[in-house]
Amino acid sequence: MCLVIGAHWLGEAAAVSRMMTDHAPLAILCACLALEDVGDDVIVATLERAATHWHAVCWLAGNHLVTPTLAGALQRKGLFDRLPDEVREYLATLQALNRDRNRMLREQLFAITGQLNRLGIQPLLLKGAIALLPDAYPGAEDRVMGDLDILVPEARLPEAIAAVTAMGYRHWDEGVLLPGESETWHHFPALLHSDLPVKLELHRRIVDDPADDARLRAGLESRIVTMPGAGEARAPDIPTRLLHNFLHAQIVDRHRRRRELNLRQLYEFAALAQAGAGKLCWPELLARLRPRYHAALAEYLAQAEGWLGLTYPEAIPRSPHAERELWLIRQAQTRANWRRLFAAVDYLRRLPPRVARLPLRLVLTPAWLPAKLKSLRKNRDA
């Protein structure tokens, strides 16, 4: 049976059916995105049911930035033509618009690579930038892109910034910073193209934490990618991409703390894991993470299994908290009060270091407080 929320721990078909009714939009969306390229009988019947809440499903897909991915998944399952006309038209339109934007981003990626190659820099492509390459994974052509993430040697970062600035990229205001603060970030502050809707992040590290970055680089096996009429870049291997996805979503973006579900990130993780099935050595992959993250990776794999139908790797011990965490994530996704509670707890955990930095920030950047108040007021009015 195609996956529905939490089906692997509920077990009983009756419980699954109740969940499809109680949390229908999220259940339908995840079942449609599931990795299988065929639609099961439950999903076929659900899609054909007149009472299916397509407005809610499409709204949820938009929230998770997976609307084009949803269109592609239904096309691969042979279910796209079973949708109501207006839903099919909506999904097809957004899919086409996203593919047009990805073509523009691909052209910029090629141009940036060529510019860097002229300086003797061979960049390493990260995250969504890799999805712009052919044969990244099934459905990659429909990934919604936020920005282009490219890693260059830290010593060459000033030259790389100058090169892309000459192409029309300009610094995007990240707010008032402490002197030298951006030099500790794993990427230079974002750059926006002056004429195109393209945002670029030049990385000095793959991930924020230097210890995690060192572990990723130690096992990195990149391949050379030749771009038509542009130059050469490097693309990391699937194990590194999986670990980067996990660390970025669960640790850097704190999705694990907040019990957030990011279907765009999770779908890419699951699709990459499936593409590497039979070739991945999960114990070696696990060894590249600090032990403190082992349980978190097991829980992330359980999410990919529970929400998208990824086959859980036998070589990774299951977390004893996986079922609880999946249940908490479902509560946070379907009940606003639970979501606010986890966000508040996360905020309180991060508050002490922020308060500790405040005196130094006020002394070194007196304009920080007025700028912060202005930003808060602007957000409130919006």
Element (H, E) at 154: none
3-state secondary structure of 351: helix
Q: How many CB atoms lie within 10 A of CB 287?
A: 13
Contact 131, 140 (CB under 8 A): yes
Does residue 197 surpass a pLDDT of 80? Answer: yes
Residue 19 has a pLDDT of 38
Residue 216 has a pLDDT of 93
Question: What digits encode the pLDDT tens for the residues 66-76?
Answer: 999 999 999 99
Q: Quick one: tokens of 377? A: 């007021």
Where is pLDDT greater, at 50 or 185?
Answer: 185
Would you identify the CATH topology of the domain 100-236? Beta Polymerase; domain 2 (3.30.460)
Contact 223, 234 (CB under 8 A): yes
Q: How many residues does the chain have?
A: 382
Distance, CA of 320 to CA of 10 (rounded, Å): 16
Residue 382 has a pLDDT of 52
Sign of CA dihedral 82, 88, 91, 97: positive
Does residue 295 surpass a pLDDT of 90? Answer: yes
Contact 218, 238 (CB under 8 A): no
Does residue 13 surpass a pLDDT of 50? Answer: no
pTM (two decimals): 0.85
Distance, CA of 207 to CA of 252 (rounded, Å): 8
Report the percentage of the chain scoring pLDDT > 90.
57
Residue 17 has a pLDDT of 38
- Binning pLDDT at 50, 70 and 90, where does residue 137 land? confident
Element (H, E) at 112: helix 85-117
Distance, CA of 129 to CA of 234 (rounded, Å): 11
Residue 175 has a pLDDT of 53
Q: Where in the chain is the domain with CATH 3.30.460?
A: 100-236
For 30-65, give the DSSP string: HHHHSS-SS--HHHHHHHH-TT--HHHHHHHHHHTT
Residue 379 has a pLDDT of 56
| DSSP symbol at 165 | H
Distance, CA of 101 to CA of 178 (rounded, Å): 35
18: phi > 0 → left, psi -120 to 50 → alpha, else beta; which?
alpha
Distance, CA of 96 to CA of 62 (rounded, Å): 15
Report the percentage of the chain scoring pLDDT > 70.
84
For 294-331, give the DSSP string: HHHHHHHHHHHHHHH-PPPPTTSPPPTTHHHHHHHHHH
Q: Of the candidates 172, 170, 127, which has an alpha carbon nearest to the alpha carbon of residue 147?
A: 127
Q: How many CB atoms lie within 10 A of CB 192?
A: 17
Query: Residue 175: CB partners within 8 Å, gap ≥ 6?
Result: 371, 372, 375
User: Any idea which of 42-51, 160-169, 300-309 has the lowest mean pLDDT?
Assistant: 42-51
Q: Of the candidates 51, 50, 72, 45, which has an alpha carbon nearest to the alpha carbon of residue 61?
A: 72
Section 213-222 average pLDDT: 92
Section 212-225 average pLDDT: 92
Q: Of the candidates 315, 210, 222, which has an alpha carbon nearest to the alpha carbon of residue 273?
A: 315
The vertex-277 CA angle with 272 and 280, nearest 5°, equals 90
Question: What digits encode the pLDDT tens for the residues 323-347?
Answer: 999 999 999 998 889 999 999 988 8
Section 229-240 average pLDDT: 90
Beta strand 148-151 with 223-227 is unpaired
Where is pLDDT greater, at 252 or 65?
Answer: 65
Distance, CA of 295 to CA of 21 (rounded, Å): 31
Contact 6, 326 (CB under 8 A): yes
Section 122-129 average pLDDT: 92
